[in-house]
Amino acid sequence: MALDHVRALVFDVFGTVVDWRSGVIREAGPFLERHGRKGAAPSAFADAWRRLYEPSMENIRSGRRPFLPLDLLHRENLETILPDFGVDRALVPEAELSDLNHVWHRLDPWPDVIDGLTRLKRRHIIAPLSNGNIRLMIDMAKRAGLPWDAILGAEVARAYKPSPEVYRRTAGVLAMDPGDICLVAAHNGDLAAARAEGFKTAFVARRTEHGPEQTTDLEPSGDWDLVAEDFRALAGRLGG
Amino acid sequence: MALDHVRALVFDVFGTVVDWRSGVIREAGPFLERHGRKGAAPSAFADAWRRLYEPSMENIRSGRRPFLPLDLLHRENLETILPDFGVDRALVPEAELSDLNHVWHRLDPWPDVIDGLTRLKRRHIIAPLSNGNIRLMIDMAKRAGLPWDAILGAEVARAYKPSPEVYRRTAGVLAMDPGDICLVAAHNGDLAAARAEGFKTAFVARRTEHGPEQTTDLEPSGDWDLVAEDFRALAGRLGG
C-alpha cells in the first residue's frame, strides 16, 4: 500500500485531534455570564474567536509580521471580539483574560483519539503538526494524555501551515523524505497543502467540528492515500 | 525551597540520562572487528569520537558554520577518526557507516532514569535540553521508553549549549520565566551556563560516564539548587 514506507504520522490538531468548539463554548459560557452577558451565545463567541484565526496567521505567512506564537494571536483575537459580545476589556481582570485565552490548552480529544494514538505509536513516530505553539501542545497533551513522541509544528518550523516551509522543515527535523511522513487531518485543504510538499495524506472526518450544522469537510474531496472513520480505524489500517 | 516554582525540568542527555560511552563501545567493538581491527580498543574509539564533539559544535557557536544537526557533526567526526583506528573509509559500505553513526540513537539510560522520569512527569513538564537533534532524541526515547512531554534542545533553539540563546529560546517556547525551569545535569559546566541565564539547577552525579577512571564531575562544584544521587532521589525531593 502507498503508506508502507511511512514512518512518521503527523497530525493536524484543532478539529482533527481535539474538539476545540465544545471546549471554548464550555468556558465562554461562564465567562459571558460573569460579565453580565448571559444572553450571548457561547457558540457564537467560539465561532467569532476562531474566525480570526486564519487572518491573524495570514499576516505572518505574508511577511507583514514576524513569526509569533499562536497564544499571542489568540490573545489579540480575543481582545478584538470582546466588544462585539458587549464585554468591556477594561473591566476584565488580566488574570481572567489570560486564563480564558488558555482555554485552547484545555481542549478535549475526540473519543477515539487516545486509543488510536496509543496503538499508532507502537509502529510509528507520532507528533502534532499544528499551528498551536509548543507550550499549548504540551499543556493539552499532559491534560488529555496524548502520547506524542515529540511536539512538532509551527513553532518548531517558525512558519504557519499551509506555508511550504512548515512541511519542509518538519521533514528536515525528522530527517525523512517527505513521502515517509503522513499528515492526518480532518480538513481537505490541510491535506492538499501537505501533498503538494510530497507528504502522504490520511483523511479522518470530524463532522461536528463546527457544530451540528457543519457543511465543510464532511467527506474527502481528494484521492487521499487513506480515508478512515476515526483514529481507531486508522490504527487498524496501519497495523497498530 | 528554591525549586517550589519550578514547572519544567529540562535535562542534559548524553551522560546525564544515557550512558553514551557503553553504548558506543558495544557497537564499535563488532565494527572494528569486521574491519580487521580486532586489536583496537572500542573504548578508545568511543572516547576519540566524543572528543571531537565539543570542537565541532564550537565551529557553529562561533559563527564559523551555520547551525547543523548533531547527526551530521557526528558523521563528520566519525569519518575523521576512522583512519586513526586503521579503518579505510573507502572500504566501509555507506549503509554500515550510517548505521554506526546512528549508535547515538540507541543509547541506554542509566538504571534509575525511567522510574525517575515517570515520577517527575506527574508534576512537571519534562523535556530533554540536549545538543542532540530532534530525530536522535525521538529515536532514543522510543527505544528506551523515555516519557518526555516534548523534545526541546539545540535543534529547536537553533543553537548549541552552552550558548545563551539555547536557554533563552527554551524559556521562550515554554512561555516561562527562566527561574521556573530547572536544568538537570551531571556536568557542573552545564549547570553554570544555565544558571547564568536564570535557570534553576540540579546536579546528579554520573561517576562512570567517562569510564572507571573518571576524574571530572564526580561531585558538585557549585552551590546548585539541588543535588540528588540519581533520578529516583530527584523525584523524591521534588515530590514526584
Shortest alpha-carbon distance between residue B180 and chain A (Å):
14
Q: Considering chain A, what percentage of its residues have pLDDT values greater than 70?
A: 100
Indicate the pLDDT class of residue A2, thresholds 50, 70 and 90.
confident
Mean pLDDT to the nearest integer, B165-174: 98
Contact A154, A132 (CB under 8 A): yes
Q: For chain B, what are the domain ranges?
A: 8-19+107-237, 20-105
> CA–CA separation, B92 vs B181, rounded Å?
44
**A153-184 tens-digit pLDDT:** 999 999 999 999 999 999 999 999 999 999 99
Q: Does domain B20-105 have CATH number 3.40.50.11860?
A: no
pLDDT for A239: 82
Structural class in CATH, domain A8-19+107-237: alpha beta
- Asked if B138's CB is within 8 angstroms of A125's CB, the reply is yes
Q: Are A210 and A43 in contact (CB under 8 A)?
A: no
b/e string for A77-108 if b means 16 or more Cβ within 10 A?
A: bbeebbeebebeeeebeeeebeebbbbbbbbb
For the segment B8-36, the average pLDDT, to the nearest whole number, is 98
pLDDT higher than threshold 70 for residue A1: no
| Chain B: closest CA distance from residue A59 (Å) | 21
Mutation to test the A interface, candidates B135, B158, B176, B181, most A Cβ within 10 Å: B135
Q: Averaged over A71-83, what is the pLDDT?
A: 98
Out of B69, B150, B155, whose CB is closest to A134?
B150
CB atoms B135 and A174 under 8 Å: yes
The answer to whether the Cβ–Cβ distance between A133 and B173 falls below 8 Å is: yes
Does A155 sit within 8 Å of B150, measured CB to CB? no
Residue B94 confidence (pLDDT): 97
Chain B residues whose beta carbon lies within 8 Å of the beta carbon of residue A173: 69, 133-135, 155
Nearest Cβ partner for A175 among B135, B148, B152: B135
Mean pLDDT of the region B18-36: 98
Angle at B239 between CA B234 and CA B240, to 5 degrees: 75
Query: Which has the higher per-residue pLDDT, B11 or A4?
Result: B11
The C-alpha cell of B189 is what? 559546566
Q: Which of A149, A156, A176 sits opposite B141 (nearest CB)?
A: A149
Whether pLDDT at B1 is above 70? no
Q: What is the pLDDT of residues A116-143, one digit of tens each?
A: 999 999 999 999 999 999 999 999 999 9
Write the ipTM.
0.97
pLDDT of residue A152: 98
What confidence tens digit (pLDDT) does each residue in B37-85 have?
988 999 999 999 999 999 999 999 999 999 999 999 999 999 999 999 9
Does a cis peptide bond (omega within 30 degrees of 0) precede residue B162?
yes
Q: Do A137 and B150 touch (CB under 8 A)?
A: yes
Number of separate helices (H) and strands (E) present in chain A? 11, 6
pLDDT digits (tens, 9 = 90+) for B170-216: 999 999 999 999 999 999 999 999 999 999 999 999 999 999 999 99
